[in-house]
Amino acid sequence: MNSRRMMVVLAGVCAAGSLVFGQEAKPGVIKLPALPYAESALEPAISAKTMGFHYGKHHKGYLDNLNKLIAVSELESLPLEEIIRVTAKAKDKDGVAIFNNAAQVWNHTFFWNSMKPKGGGKPTGALLEKLEKSFGSYDKFKQAFQDAATGQFGSGWVWLVADGDGLKIIKTSNADTPVAHGQKALLTCDVWEHAYYLDYQNRRKDFVATFLDSLVNWDFAAAQLSR
């Protein structure tokens, strides 16, 4: 990847399963990637109203803040993932703000792609084999994922990541992301309250169960595994 060109995070999976990136014509400006489906496409699991606020307000807000912050920094010409890595251990106010907004832009785009209409259920092929080898069975993976998601105190994310020859589940708080730790993410579920509160109120457990049963995009996860 040319480090002098600004690339936005993945915006979907093409028919062949490879990642699709959006490239900016104007260096130093990151564009909000399009959703890979209509805002109403995940109903009734996630309402169009929730998607409108989550994508159109929260995700866009992080991106707008990031563009303002990098416009006055030496980071404006770097790819998004590199901005995250460079600022992951920042202690100064501006560096922390850049990391938080950059990581949330990446996390949210990854989350949209971790779901699809009529998703959920078991994966197939090599991914299912790795899940069963790593967790004992798909049902045990599902329980471990739900436990991690409901056990995350406050705002954050639960992730399935590659771990050597296997897979593992991790939790991150607030904006933290596997990108900052050199980990390969396969899928994520957003457990910030704004991800589910309009539809599920305080019932995070129900939201996560619905995510696994009806929304998970295993094709996307498999594409990440094969990268």
Residue 106 pLDDT: 97
pLDDT bracket for residue 153 (50, 70, 90): very high
Domains and CATH numbers, the chain: 125-225 (3.55.40.20)
pTM: predicted TM-score of the whole model, two decimal places:
0.87
User: At residue 22, does pLDDT exceed 50?
Assistant: no
CB 113 within 8 Å of CB 217: yes
Cα 145 versus chain centre, distance: 15
Residue 4 pLDDT: 30
